[in-house]
A and B are shown apart, each in its own frame.
Chain A
Amino acid sequence: MSDVVSAPAVSGGVSRSFLRDARGLQRKLVEEYYGAFASVDQPRRPVAYMLVGGNLTEILRSFGYDVVFPEIVALNCAIKHQSLENILHAESLGYGLDVCGYVKNDLGLQDLGGKTSFGQIPRPDLLVCSFSGCYVYVKWWEALAESYGAPLFMFDVPYMREETPRQEDIAYLVSQLWELVHLLEKRTGRAFDMNELKRVLAESRRAEDGWVEFLRAGRLRPSPIEAYFESIFYMFPINVLRGTPGAADFYDVVNEEVRARVRDGNYPLPEEKFRVLVEGVPPYTNYRTFWDFFRKWGAVSVVATYPKVGGLFDRGFRHDPSRPFESIAEYSLGAYVNQSWPLRRKIIADYVKEYQADAVIIHGIKSCRSFTAGQGDLRDWLIHDQGVPTLYIESDHQDPRYFAPAQIKNRMDAFFESLEQRRAVAAAAGAAPG
């Protein structure tokens, strides 16, 4: 298993030690995770499929389940240029051109037998659908339930329209969580162990602290981290391995490395010319190309919204062993795409200030209407109401047919060129006598 998902090599003026320790450890964790599924015939533990947004990892883990996230499998396929084949297969099954690429990649992959270059994806014993922020989740899990006949638990999470959830929302979620617990007791023949759940939650909390420390490093000038391209790799433990000691330890290593970077002056780019906020899902199929478009201009993403799809930990939320069910309910409500547009706008405005971003790059994707519908209005609001230079580009996260490199590059070049020009003009005006 040497061929695993890993961060692309960073070239050009970057110290070779940048990303080294954390990246190596991340690679190892990914390898171990998929490696554990290698033996499909005799899975040691039952497998639950889950979705990243509002996931219930802790509860499933407390019952000894292994968790598989088809979204993450799909994105790994896309990075490794295996998504198109799966997508085309799904289209031959009847999934239309405009169905989400995650769904098509996954259902195509499943129909082809679940084999990837990073391991065999096991079949589910249970499908847990957290309907949190994405309607397609519901449709996707319906399709999986139909093809596997595995039981589906629908965890219905209300959309957040106010900053604080209503009491009725929490009560609704807690009631559903207990129903899940009863279902798991029935399926595993094990009694629910509250102490075990609390122990898992404590590990989650420790990982969350570490993850937030990493994210907040983007507030430094220059930023020692790449909050979009680098974070994407470090999202794996917080989303997939949360609740394990390994996840929590991982962020200790990451943060140690980030501190060393600051100490040694080892930054993502030799010169941080532009600090940008990136909103939207990355084009995984052309990840490296896209990153190059930033690097070329000395642009470092110091904060990004995409790493918050698994939870807005940096805005204060933590899993809490003293309020296990309530805090899980709050977690599920708190996924980034489960926030209404007024709340999303506020988060972005706060980020721009907090991280001193010079500009915002919005990457809209064809697949995800939840994330994307309204990003044009967001662009308008940022430019006209907030005075933040903003660029909006579109492609897809899974389907390489929608990534037009020449067009995207042209827009990025023009955008940074104009930022540079304006900065030069401002500097000239500032330097002018009188």
Chain B
Amino acid sequence: MTAVVAGVDIGSTTAKCVVLGEDSRILGKSLSVVGVDIVKDAERALEAALADAHLSRPEVSFITGTGYGRYKVYFGQLVVTEISCHARGANFLFPGTRLVVDIGGQDTKAIRIDDKGEVVDFAMNDKCAAGTGRFLDVCANALGYDVGEIGPLSLQARRAVKVTSTCTVFAESEVTSYVSRGKDPKDILAGLHASIANRTLSLMQRVGVEPEVTFTGGVSQNEGMVHALHRRLGVPVNVSPLSQYLGALGAALHGRERLSGGAA
């Protein structure tokens, strides 16, 4: 069967799409910002990935939607939660993965998986958005940085300050207060990263920390966060430049299984 499959991941801030060839080679991918019209954004994400793959719509046999906006992927044949998708995607990129950590814009997940990439157990941030990507976003903003800059800056810290507030809104005032007390922004950033690493570890311990650990989601592109997690965990953390696409990739893989009559 010469089937091309696609996965569309509609997150809270970005839409991602991955187009997979029959040998599970990535033929094309796309990343775009989500706006007010999610249905259209999903369409666009697919079109962009198809353009990247030099393919046209009829050549795709199966489309899977995932992410918060998964039910808006009207043109798809299957919806799967991003938890199952991240599990499958991490297994694909790093087959030894047993624990997936995904820090996204709105939530953080720790997913324990087996050797086939099936979810064994998972835990997500409770109660509120404490410790999510949004936390970094807001604090970067309060310090006057772009969220892309803060990871490398945090690595230059000499002495991380202690950030205790887990509430995103209050962390912002905590950050502002440190600034007014003359603390080095780098040290504050290091403190913020350490604080998220700590919250994340707490989630990971709920499902059990077991190597290999694969770090995914938007925040995984932040090297300061990778460093902070590694330091807190004491074991290396797999990170791939494709991490952001893991949900979409996992969705495509789920679609392929479904198409071939597999477990999905």
User: Footprint of B on A, CB under 8 Å?
Assistant: 366, 376, 379-380, 383-384, 389, 392-394, 406-407, 410-411, 413-415, 417-418, 421-422, 424-425, 428
Contacts and interface: CB of A to CB of B under 8 A. Distances in A.
B37 interface: no
Interface string B94-125: 00000000000001000000001011111110
Interface of B: 68, 80-84, 107, 116, 118-124, 126-127, 206, 208, 262-264
Given A394-B126, A410-B68, A389 B81 contact: no
A392 B84 CA distance: 17
Given A366-B127, A384-B208, A389-B121, 6 more contacts: A380-B206, A411-B124, A413-B81, A414-B122, A425-B116, A428-B263
Q: Which 9 residue pairs spanning A and B have beta carbons closest together?
A: A418-B119, A414-B83, A414-B81, A424-B263, A413-B81, A394-B126, A417-B84, A425-B263, A421-B118
B68 A425 contact: no
Contacts of A415: 122
A421 B84 contact: yes
A176 to B, nearest CB: 39
Contact of A414 (B119, B126, B208, B263): B119
Contacts of B124: 407, 410-411
A421 B263 contact: yes
A67 to B, nearest CB: 36
B81 A425 contact: no
A410 B121 CA distance: 14
A394 B128 CA distance: 10
Contacts, number: 56
A98 to B, nearest CB: 12
Contact of A394 (B116, B118, B119, B127): B127
A415 B82 CA distance: 11
Nearest to B207: A383
10 contacts: A380-B206, A392-B123, A410-B124, A413-B81, A414-B81, A414-B119, A421-B119, A421-B263, A421-B264, A428-B262
A109 B239 CA distance: 54
Nearest to A394: B126
B143 to A, nearest CB: 28
Contact of B84 (A389, A407, A418): A418
Contacts of A414: 81-84, 119, 122
A410 B126 CA distance: 12
A425 B118 contact: yes
Given A414-B122, A425-B116, A376 B83 contact: no
B118 A406 contact: no
Nearest to A402: B127
Contacts of A418: 83-84, 118-120, 122
Contacts of A366: 127
A417 B81 contact: yes
B253 to A, nearest CB: 12
A393 B264 CA distance: 25
Contacts of A389: 121
Contacts of B264: 421, 424
A421 B254 CA distance: 11
Contacts of A394: 126-127
Contacts of B119: 414, 417-418, 421-422
A424 to B, nearest CB: 4
B80 A383 contact: no
A422 B126 contact: no
A422 B118 contact: yes
Q: Which of A376, A394, A413, A428 has the most CB of B within 10 A?
A: A413
Nearest to A422: B118
A384 B119 CA distance: 15
B89 to A, nearest CB: 14
B262 to A, nearest CB: 8
A413 B264 CA distance: 14
A432 to B, nearest CB: 12
Contacts of B68: 406, 410
Given A414-B122, A418-B118, A421-B84, A407 B206 contact: no
B209 to A, nearest CB: 13
Contacts of B116: 425
B35 to A, nearest CB: 18
Nearest to B87: A418
Contacts of A417: 80-81, 83-84, 119
A406 B107 CA distance: 11
A384 to B, nearest CB: 7
Nearest to B109: A414
Nearest to B84: A417
A384 B107 CA distance: 24
A414 B264 CA distance: 13
B255 to A, nearest CB: 14
A425 B119 CA distance: 11
B203 to A, nearest CB: 11
Contacts of A379: 206
Contacts of B81: 410, 413-414, 417
A187 B63 CA distance: 73
Contacts of A428: 262-263
A380 B122 CA distance: 12
A396 to B, nearest CB: 10
B86 to A, nearest CB: 10
A149 B237 CA distance: 63
Contacts of A406: 68
Contacts of B127: 366, 394
A53 B255 CA distance: 50
B94 to A, nearest CB: 19
B83 A407 contact: no
Contacts of A411: 124
Q: Which of A406, A417, A424 has the most CB of B within 10 A?
A: A417
A232 B263 CA distance: 36
A411 B118 CA distance: 16
B32 to A, nearest CB: 21
B145 to A, nearest CB: 28
B83 to A, nearest CB: 4
Contacts of A424: 263-264
A424 B257 CA distance: 12
B160 to A, nearest CB: 28
B201 to A, nearest CB: 15
